[in-house]
Amino acid sequence: MSAFDNKRDSNLVSRIIIFLSPFLILLFFAFIQILNLSYFQAEDFKTQSESNRLYQSKIAPQRGFIFDSNNILLVENNIQQDLEINPNFIENPTIFLRQISDLLEIDFNQIESDFYIRSTGKNAKEPYLLIKDLTEKQIAKLSVNLNKIKGAEIISSFSRNVLHKEVMAPVIGYVGNVSKEEIFNNPELKSYKSLKIGKTGVEKDFDKLLRGVMGFRIQERDSFGKLVRNISIEPPSKGKDLKLSIDFELQKKLLNDFKGRKGALVAIEPKTGLIRALISSPSYDPNLLNTINDYEEVKNLFSDKDSPLFNRAISGQYPPASTLKPFVGMAALEAKTISWEKEIFDSGEYLVEGDQRPYKGWKEGGHGNVDMKKAIVESSDVYFYSLAYDLTINNLSPFLEKFGYGEKSGLTKNESKGILPSRKWKLGYIGEAWFKGDTINMGIGQGYMTATPLQIAVAYAALANKGEIVQPRIIEKIGNSETVKIVKNNVFLSDDKNWKRIEEALLAVVEASNGTANNIYDRNIRIAGKTGTAQVKSIGETEYKLLREDKSLRDHALFVGYGPVENPKLVVVAIIENGESGSAVAAPIVRKAINLYSKNEK
């Protein structure tokens, strides 16, 4: 072969290489990409593929049931049908929401607002309930059309139902959606935000026990978001059942006696601390809030001027009035500023040197010469004005504190602690120094001092127990485990006989002809008790007669009693707001409570 031919062949090869080189380069990169996809990134694409068709969803636990002390069912769970949507499958939210709105005949703007609120943030793609508690008509329409709508399905859930509504509302409370604030304060609730949690009452105090443990399942779904199969299921754990100390039948009968009047009642076993009745009137239907179907009705409930949602039994702060007098008497005996036999003349008013204003007693003309027993029986204001003046606030407040005044009882975090005033308290809250007149008013349970019905019940339970202060409780059993009695404190007197003497005076309040509660005397079941009339507004006698036309300015009626005295089974406090007469209005309710409970116990 000549040199010319060799040169020609070489040029041909070069031209072929130049021509094929782009294709060779593309082929090389294609090979590299295939290798990368099939080997190096294979696991990533497998995971992405799985995530497109496999979804983890939560399984709501069934909330625990609640029973009364006699195993009467109080709260149950109803099964309801809800519309759940999965944003992952919704291509056009506006079209989707319009379909749902037209199909179910519901307000488009409302569900659009809910959708866009839920479609922001980290959990924007999580399934959630768009419409709860579907009607039969809505379910029927969805069943026919749901196969045409991507990302929506009907699921079953539980709704809370309080069987006896107004009767048990102050005790049970209600449930509601988890708020951002609640999640911030308790991050654990983030996992339960699809559920309803306790907002008030036992539902709130024992929410963690009642709500149970969430379950999970891995599901395979098609391109419409419809379930293909369950891959795995971790079932939820049902919440604990609770047995309350409340006697439902007793609670129901006593609530009827309030006849729509505002007020409260607490009935507690002094020896065990178990609360057998807890009433706040007026009451409400918790089911309006457990499943909100009528927003207007809920709005009216929250704006009601009589405040049915306010639990007066544990949070109402009232002047204890004359129910405080036995404790003032014991404080004076302990301080040795008085004896049982020493008499004080009650002319109907008490005068303090340097103070031109007389402190009036409730009885015009006074009670004459009174010793401590007579002062308690007839409720002499002047006698206790004198005792408080001699005691001074420095002795009186610390003694009352021993019986639980001015502090929470431990029943619930949501109770009020009332006000047990002192020099330091007044300077800090009012910005003024403490005056002798403040102590005098406190001697009859008026002035700055306030107490809840629960606190008064705990204090009188200590009287019935001769000094043992038992923490109140409203749960008898959690599941199968019984709760235990807790003794918070023991009050010791320098003379133990004073317990019996105070009790004899309280017995005479009911049994003696001059007793302020003689109208409820019943020889079959003896009870010890004390009336009280709490001033709503401090005004003169003439002015009061004019202003009593306004019912909201009338005095509150109080009575607290325990019995049978030989073996006290129950301490009962009743407060009727603006009821004026403790003996006429509140005392008969207390008598009825003790009679009913004592007979049932037999």
The catalytic position among 157, 245, 315, 322 is 322
235: nearest Cα among 217, 219, 218, 215:
215
Instruction: Please report which residue ranges of 477-573 form alpha helices under DSSP H.
Output: 497-511, 541-547
Residue 59's beta-bridge partner residues? 215
For the ranges 17-26, 411-420, 497-506, which has the lowest average pLDDT? 17-26
Which pLDDT tens digit goes with each residue over 33-47?
666 655 555 554 444
CA distances from 521 to 192, 227, 292, 508 (A): 54, 71, 47, 10
**Fold equal for 55-170+214-243 and 248-298+312-601:** no
Beta bridge partner(s), residue 563:
570
**Are 141 and 57 spatial neighbours (Cβ–Cβ below 8 Å)?**
no
111-125, 280-294, 454-468: least confident range: 111-125
Q: Which one-letter amino acid corresponds to residue 466?
A: K
CATH architecture of 55-170+214-243: Alpha-Beta Complex (3.90)
Q: Helices 381-391 and 393-401, interaxial angle, to 10°?
A: 100
Q: Which of 12-16, 218-222, 467-471, 553-557 is predicted least confidently? A: 12-16
Active site residue 322: yes
DSSP 192: G
- The string of pLDDT tens digits covering residues 294-343 is 778 888 999 989 899 999 999 999 999 999 999 999 999 999 999 999 99
Q: Per-domain residue ranges for the chain?
A: 3-40, 55-170+214-243, 248-298+312-601
Going by DSSP bridges, is the β-strand pair 242-244/66-67 parallel, antiparallel, or unpaired?
Answer: parallel
Q: Is the per-residue pLDDT at 400 higher than 90?
A: yes
CA distance 580 to 575: 10
Structure tokens at 325: 């007098």
pLDDT of residue 7: 55
Strand, coil or helix: 3:
helix
pTM: 0.84
- The beta strands (E) that lie in 245-343 are given as 263-268, 275-281
| Domain spanning 248-298+312-601, CATH class | alpha beta
The token pair that represents 324 in the structure block? 């405080």
pLDDT bracket for residue 81 (50, 70, 90): confident
What are the structure tokens assigned to 576, written together?
Answer: 């009727």
Q: What residues contact 58, with CB distance under 8 A and at least 6 apart?
A: 191, 194, 214, 215, 216
